[in-house]
Amino acid sequence: MHGSSHLLNWILWMPFIGVLGNLLIPGSKKNAIRYWSLINTAITFILTLVLYKNFDTSVAGMQEAYNFSIPWIKQFNIFYTVGVDGISLPMIILTGLLFFLCILSSWTVEKSVKGYFSLFLFLQASVFGVFLSLDFFLFYVFWEVMLIPMFFLIGIWGGENKEYAAVKFFLYTFFGSILMLVGMVALYYAKGKGVDAFNILALSGGQFTDLKLSMFGSEFSFDKLFFVFMFIGFAIKVPVFPFHTWLPHAHVQAPTAVSVILAGVLLKMGTYGFLRIAYPIFPSASVYFADAIAWLGLVNVIYGAFCAMAQTDVKKLVAYSSVSHMGFVMLGLAAMTTQGMNGAVLQMFNHGTSTAMMFLLIGILYERSHHRYIVRPDGSKGFGGLYTQLPKFSIVFIIAMFASMGLPGLSGFISEALIFLGIYERYTTITVLALIGLLLGAAYLLWMFKRMFFGDVIEECKSYTDMNAREIAYMLPLCVAVIVFGIYPAPILNMMKASVGSLVKLLGTY
């Protein structure tokens, strides 16, 4: 099934070309490295837009024109297969956009520039790999490869407790992946080792529903057992409640751009895994466990919000708000209705843009203040009166905050509304409780805003300068995205409609 276009290959391998280029430029030429990386990500982003332009929104499955498959390891029937559908396309565009903007925001990185930008582009390639792979083995390889650049990016360029954060992140995710690996190989044998035994699409459709396996003398349902394995693998990445403890550390210690990518793109890989692998391959088990997923999502929403409220470090606050917002995605996924799923995918995109804004803004602030305390450990104010001191910064911050809060007219509202519409009929109690989470979200964000931006300008803040042209340049596209998709979300909804619809239809039969 050779497609007519190599566009996906170009998107996937373009960042690798960037890495190779970076390695050829001598390390002392820092600006050359920065501009090369910027041009490289810009080209990649344009390629993703070309993909969007040529995308046929009426097709539910993979886009025929972009399917590309060549054999990799014949003995195991492993293929290099890439493809794109309505669920992965928003993620691909988001990845292209955020990495491009993050290169701009990383302009001020001075510590071994060559290593930083090379690892960053390497990370981009592996993220694209995850979103584009249709071969389970290939997917797994990219899923794991991504850990290596992340480990070094957090560990070398991070804050004071960076090592702990990097190690915890690595170990946690690796643990989840191992469960996934066992599930993957089990699927390979259950499918009979044939040419399509690693093909995600061929595995989909619920063919393992009635399969049983016996262990220790008792019988287990194949799909339920391995759904749980996959679930833990993906849930660690999302992160779903009991597996979330790596996230605050990783976020707080990571450099700004890496936090943006972590919250904006990497967390979505977890929920993308549900949509691409766990749900389609084990639909009956997904329906069976829907209640549990919904409750876990609710815990995420409420618990994340309460944790966020207690934070004195503004970056940690945003990190916990991510936990809370990813809870909404989980709720949408548990709904298994058209609105709910659409809302979940839309929320994945919208959370990507709004959280990216928050992290970028905190990064901008940190470059001026070199601390992130809302309240210092000794009880004094860390920031005060930023609104009068930094007007442009404050306006962008307000947009980001309201978008993340879900104010009507901005992007977060539509996706959350869709999720609530989708889930209401099935889980009324959970819906009502989750609404409290929404309220809490408004509370911690506004409270944080009040403490940092209002009141008298404290002495320290008087030396801060407002955003410069470069900073405005990378904030502007995100502001536009948040506002435009808040008023007119149709472009993204149209993109995914057909694909999400077919998934909901599949789940509906169980």
Site membership for other proteins, residue 277 (CB under 8 A): no
Q: How far apart are CA 208 and CA 423, in angstroms?
A: 27
Tokens for 407?
């104010």
Contact 346, 418 (CB under 8 A): yes
Site for other proteins (CB under 8 A): which residue of 15, 155, 248, 363? 155
Q: How far apart are CA 126 and CA 150, in angstroms?
A: 11
In terms of DSSP bridges, do strands 78-82 and 68-73 run parallel, antiparallel, or are they unpaired? Answer: antiparallel
Closest CA to 340 of 405, 269, 267, 421: 421
Selected range binding other proteins among 140-148, 272-280, 295-303, 446-454, rule: CB under 8 A:
140-148
Q: How far apart are CA 318 and CA 405, in angstroms?
A: 11
Site membership for other proteins, residue 28 (CB under 8 A): no
Selected range binding other proteins among 17-25, 145-153, 425-433, 483-491, rule: CB under 8 A:
145-153
In terms of DSSP bridges, do strands 218-221 and 212-215 run parallel, antiparallel, or are they unpaired? Answer: antiparallel
Selected range binding other proteins among 88-96, 150-158, 265-273, 411-419, rule: CB under 8 A:
150-158
User: Which C-beta is closer to other proteins: that of 282 or that of 383?
Assistant: 282
Q: How far apart are CA 288 and CA 290, in angstroms?
A: 6
Site for other proteins (CB under 8 A): which residue of 30, 34, 114, 162? 162
Q: How far is the CB of 80 from other proteins (least distance, A)?
A: 11
CA contacts within 13 A on the Cβ side of 84: 25
Residue the block writes with tokens 């992340």: 150
Site membership for other proteins, residue 211 (CB under 8 A): no
User: Which C-beta is closer to other proteins: that of 151 or that of 485?
Assistant: 151
Contact 128, 12 (CB under 8 A): yes
Q: How far is the CB of 286 from other proteins (least distance, A)?
A: 21
Site membership for other proteins, residue 156 (CB under 8 A): yes
The phi and psi torsions of 135 (rounded to 5 degrees) equal -100, 130
State the maximum Cα–Cα separation within the chain, in Å, rounded to a whole number.
72
Selected range binding other proteins among 166-174, 325-333, 384-392, 449-457, rule: CB under 8 A:
166-174
Site for other proteins (CB under 8 A): which residue of 32, 145, 483, 506? 145
- Residue 145: which residues within 8 A CB-CB, separation 6 or more? 126, 129
Q: How far is the CB of 357 from other proteins (least distance, A)?
A: 30
Q: Residue 442: which H helix or E strand, with range?
A: helix 428-453
Site membership for other proteins, residue 163 (CB under 8 A): yes
Give residues 466-495 in contact with other proteins (rule: CB under 8 A): none
| Burial category of 20 from C-beta neighbours within 10 Å (exposed 0-12, middle 13-18, buried 19 and up) | exposed
Tokens for 9?
């290959």
Q: What is the CA radius of gyration of the chain?
A: 22
Q: How far is the CB of 255 from other proteins (least distance, A)?
A: 14
Site membership for other proteins, residue 497 (CB under 8 A): no
Contact 345, 438 (CB under 8 A): no
Site membership for other proteins, residue 144 (CB under 8 A): yes
DSSP 213: E
How many angstroms separate the Cα of 480 from the Cα of each of 354, 476, 483? Answer: 11, 6, 5
Distance of CA 275 to the CA centre of its chain: 13
User: Which C-beta is closer to other proteins: that of 23 or that of 435?
Assistant: 23
Site for other proteins (CB under 8 A): which residue of 100, 122, 170, 234? 170
Alpha helices, DSSP H only, in 275-410? 279-281, 283-288, 290-310, 314-335, 338-369, 386-389, 391-405
| Contact pattern for other proteins over residues 213 through 232, marking x by CB under 8 A | x-x-----------------
User: Which C-beta is closer to other proteins: that of 152 or that of 328?
Assistant: 152
Site for other proteins (CB under 8 A): which residue of 17, 43, 65, 186? 186
DSSP 3-state of 69: strand
Site for other proteins (CB under 8 A): which residue of 43, 65, 178, 506? 178
Selected range binding other proteins among 57-65, 154-162, 237-245, 304-312, rule: CB under 8 A:
154-162
Selected range binding other proteins among 151-159, 203-211, 299-307, 418-426, rule: CB under 8 A:
151-159
Q: How many residues bind other proteins, per CB under 8 A? A: 33
User: Which C-beta is closer to other proteins: that of 112 or that of 207?
Assistant: 112
Site for other proteins (CB under 8 A): which residue of 65, 185, 395, 433? 185
Tokens for 90?
């928003």
Site membership for other proteins, residue 140 (CB under 8 A): yes
| Contact pattern for other proteins over residues 65 through 94, marking x by CB under 8 A | -------xxxxx------------------
Q: How far is the CB of 154 from other proteins (least distance, A)?
A: 10
User: Which C-beta is closer to other proteins: that of 90 or that of 155?
Assistant: 155
Site membership for other proteins, residue 147 (CB under 8 A): yes
Q: How far apart are CA 289 and CA 275, in angstroms?
A: 15
Contacts with other proteins, residue ranges (CB under 8 A): 72-76, 140-141, 144-145, 147-148, 151-152, 155-156, 162-163, 166-167, 170-171, 174-175, 178-179, 181-182, 185-186, 188-189, 213, 215
